[in-house]
Structure 1
């Protein structure tokens, strides 16, 4: 009289207790800190160009002496020279062009800006898992304004969001995934 115990009922039961679905903790989405580091890397050329322009503005200020009367002469800086302003403007123009190319054109076509590529992740459409294109990438950058609107809280959303999305990501239905 050696009978086998009956097979377990259908479903995933462990000692009579139904199993609980696993908690999603970010799945295969890029962690927040990795995204922050990518942004810092992307910002380095922009800050360097702007700093170079600022240093040029500061250094190239002609010193002049103005005498009102023989007894009173004042010496001081008269502001940056025209050449300094031109150099500063060119530095800012190159920084803006780099930013548009990096965050709009490059990221739209490949899914990764330079910083994202270094940190090994990309921005893709939530449904398609493909790069989002130049137009949508441009709109995503504009939508990041909403992330900043309320004390930059939108940029913190990936810390608690299951898909680690910012407000801009939610609006444009994009996600950041590892390469």
Structure 2
């Protein structure tokens, strides 16, 4: 199965990025309104295994106007998660599988690396290179926006971190 990788160094603590990633249902439409118009959890609980989100794109996006993605794996301690597109999105472009794993690793107290690996398959005769390049550019842009947001707002500092089954600590 073909795979592509994206690795990006961000000037934020790994735990801050991890908590922000758990809140992308709310954050992504704010950070990239030119790409994403709305995200709703349509099955399960947000950021929990087997939950399904419906992501609505702006009408000028290629690959369809929406994607349904399922969260299939989460390792809270290892800061790793895997999603799989189940309808729309890349599947509407010519891919038959799009499974994305992200992992956040700490470099030091204020810097981390996010590693994204996408496993995909395509319909016969489909050339995925342009779509992959666009997806990588959008991922980079969105992650840099998230980095700027975390730095600017300070919302994901260590004293605000929460764990599952508890509420945010003010």
**TM-score over 0.5 for the alignment?**
no
Higher CA-based Rg? 1
Structure with more of its chain in strand, by fraction: 2
Normalised TM-score (structure 1): 0.28
Normalised TM-score (structure 2): 0.29
